[in-house]
Copies of this chain bind each other. A is one copy, B any other.
Amino acid sequence: MQAAPRDEARESGKPQLSGSLQPLQDLVVDDLKQVNTIILEKMQSPVALIPQLAGHIVAAGGKRLRPMLTLATARLCGAEGERHHALAACVEFIHTATLLHDDVVDDSHLRRGLETANAVWGNKASVLVGDFLFSRSFQLMVADGSLTVLKLLSDASATIAEGEVHQLMTANDTATDEKAYLAVIEAKTAALFSAACEIGAVVAERPESERLALRSFGLSFGNAFQLVDDILDYSAEQQALGKSIGDDFREGKITLPLVLAFARGDEEEKAFWRRCVEDLEQRDGDLEQAITLMQRHGALEESKQRARDYAERARRDLGAFQNNDAKRALLQAIDFCVERLY
């Protein structure tokens, strides 16, 4: 997770890298253990398949970035007590529920190198266990008792579902423009980042201005995060590192690099894009051709710049907070997010 050492970066001519997730992970390591305990405890059910299936996806365990954001913003705001542990678990449950449903919707069979839950237990079980985790998240919020948090996360959940449906409508449609793309990622990804961060200020009972700053911070961070994810799916460098790329292209998912390359392409190129992402008629070499066209039209570079702009906005949103270890950790997490692009 640590960024490359600075000397190496300097020698290779890359910009000096300051980003890392490590400070964020170090900051919340103890809190996150509590969160994981709550997650494991609350995904239990007398219906055996529920903890089995939920355990599979929870153990496959991503970075836990969203709950870490709740924990770190709570720390940033000087929250006391333990409420943020259960609420960070709520955020992760909602995220996990959407992953389960996403994998059904995308008919995915692999996630982070492991078989998806739907591949192992079938689509039916994944849909229903997703529903369970979603409900369980609201039960946890009710136990916490804050209508403010309930509003934040029910709003975020509705927005996520809207974003996912919107994405479904734009899939395989080269007429999708940048505005529609940005609306999709803000809804499906950034809304939950935003709520996760705002909860930090809520549990610390900070004034409205700080809540708004963290809401805005999370939104920009989430947008940057999703943009980077979408760009890396066309990254020759990632491919050289042995990572699998081209998933979005193969599914005909419309992301910003494709939107920009399509808009700037001539008729022949547009026909290429339509064949590949609308008709899903793909041949050997098409992904390489797609990357070549994106590079030729500066679509990847411009997408990267957009991600950097969001990251810069996220940094600015933290300006009002005093300089403590939580703020430094969040700033380095933002840097890490966009430095993956180099």
Interface residue ranges, A against B (CB under 8 Å) = 45-50, 98, 101, 104-105, 123-125, 127-129, 131-132, 134-136, 138-139, 141-142, 145, 147, 150-151, 154-155, 157-158, 160-162, 164-166, 168-169
Q: Is the CB of A105 within 8 A of B131?
A: no
Not counting A50-B162, A128-B164, a sample of 10 additional A-B residue pairs whose C-beta atoms are within 8 angstroms of each other reads A49-B165, A105-B128, A125-B168, A127-B127, A129-B165, A131-B160, A131-B161, A139-B151, A142-B154, A145-B147
Query: Contacts A49-B169, A101-B128, A104-B127: A161 and B135 contacting too (C-beta < 8 A)?
Result: yes
Q: Is the CB of B150 within 8 A of A127?
A: no
The one of B131, B147, B150, B165 that contacts A132, using a Cβ cutoff of 8 Å: B165
Q: Is the CB of B132 within 8 A of A105?
A: no
Residues on B with C-beta less than 8 A from A50 are 162, 165
The one of B45, B128, B147, B158 that contacts A135, using a Cβ cutoff of 8 Å: B158
Report A171 CB to chain B, min CB distance, Å. Answer: 9
Q: Is the CB of B136 within 8 A of A158?
A: yes
The one of B105, B125, B151 that contacts A165, using a Cβ cutoff of 8 Å: B125
Q: In the complex, A48 Cα to B128 Cα: how many Å?
A: 25
Closest to A122 in B: B168
Q: In the complex, A154 Cα to B140 Cα: how many Å?
A: 9
Residues on B with C-beta less than 8 A from A46 are 162
Residues on B with C-beta less than 8 A from A169 are 47-49
Closest to A164 in B: B128
Residues on B with C-beta less than 8 A from A104 are 123-124, 127
Q: Is the CB of A158 within 8 A of B142?
A: no
The one of B48, B49, B147, B162 that contacts A147, using a Cβ cutoff of 8 Å: B147
Report A145 CB to chain B, min CB distance, Å. Answer: 6
Residues on B with C-beta less than 8 A from A98 are 131
Report A254 CB to chain B, min CB distance, Å. Answer: 15
Residues on B with C-beta less than 8 A from A129 are 161, 165
The one of B45, B124, B157, B166 that contacts A168, using a Cβ cutoff of 8 Å: B124
Q: Is the CB of A142 within 8 A of B131?
A: no
Report A51 CB to chain B, min CB distance, Å. Answer: 11
28 residue pairs from A and B, CB less than 8 Å apart: A47-B162, A47-B166, A49-B165, A98-B131, A101-B131, A104-B123, A104-B127, A105-B127, A105-B128, A125-B165, A127-B127, A129-B165, A131-B134, A131-B160, A132-B158, A132-B161, A132-B162, A134-B134, A135-B154, A135-B161, A138-B150, A139-B151, A139-B154, A139-B155, A141-B154, A142-B150, A142-B154, A145-B147
Q: In the complex, A142 Cα to B160 Cα: how many Å?
A: 17
Residues on B with C-beta less than 8 A from A125 are 165, 168
